[in-house]
Amino acid sequence: MRVGDGVTLDVTSMAHGGEAVARHDGQVVFVRGALPGETVVAEITSAPAHGRFLRARTVDVVTPSPDRVSPPCEYSGVCGGCDWQHVTLPAQRRFKADIIADVLTRIGGEPAGRWSQLTVDAVPGDDDGLGWRTRMRYATDPSGRAGLRAHHAHDIVALDRCLIASPSIGGPDVLAQSWLGVEEVLAVQPDGGPVVLPDPAPGDARVTQHAAGRAWHFDATAFWQVHPGAADSLASAVRQLLAPRAGEHLVDLYAGVGLFAGACLGELGPGGRIDTVESDETAVRGARRSLHDESNVHIHHDRVDRWLSQGRLRRCDIVVLDPPRTGAGREVMDRITRLGPRAIAYVACDPASLARDIAYARAQGWHLTQLRAFDLFPMTHHVECVALVEPRDSLPA
Ligand X SMILES: C[S@@+](CC[C@H](N)C(=O)[O-])C[C@H]1O[C@@H](n2cnc3c(N)ncnc32)[C@H](O)[C@@H]1O
* Interstrand relation of 135-140 and 39-46 (parallel, antiparallel or unpaired): unpaired
Burial of 242 (0-12, 13-18, 19+ CB in 10 A): buried
Question: Applying CB under 6 A, does 254 fall inside the site for ligand X?
Answer: yes
For ligand X, the closer CB: 75 or 254: 254
The stretch among 132-140, 255-263, 350-358, 359-367 that binds ligand X (CB under 6 A) is: 255-263
- The residue within the footprint of ligand X, chosen from 125, 213, 271, 324 (CB under 6 A), is 324
Q: CA 196 to CA 297: how far, in whole Å?
A: 32
Residue 110 or 384 having the CB closest to ligand X: 384
Q: Which C-beta is closer to ligand X: that of 58 or that of 233?
A: 233
- From the list 35-43, 81-89, 165-173, 279-287, the region that binds ligand X by CB under 6 A is 279-287
Please tell me whether residue 376 binds ligand X under the rule CB under 6 A. no
CA dist., res. 220 & res. 203, Å (int): 8
- Pure H helices in the chain: 89-106, 172-175, 230-242, 259-268, 281-291, 304-309, 330-338, 351-363
> x/- string (CB under 6 A) for ligand X, residues 1-40?
----------------------------------------
Contacts with ligand X, 281-310, as mask; x by CB under 6 A = --x-------------------xx------
* Three-state secondary-structure class, residue 361: helix
Per DSSP, 79 falls in state B
Q: Which CB sits closer to ligand X, 140 or 282?
A: 282
Active-site positions read 349
Residues 2 and 152: their CA atoms lie apart, in Å, by 19
Instruction: Identify whether the C-beta of residue 188 lies closer than 8 Å to the C-beta of residue 194.
Output: yes
Q: What is the dihedral of CA 389, 391, 395, 397, to 10 degrees?
A: 150
State which residue, 179 or 254, has the beta carbon closest to ligand X: 254
Q: Does 377 bind ligand X (CB under 6 A)?
A: no
Contacts with ligand X, residue ranges (CB under 6 A) = 223-225, 254-256, 259-260, 277-280, 283, 303-304, 322, 324
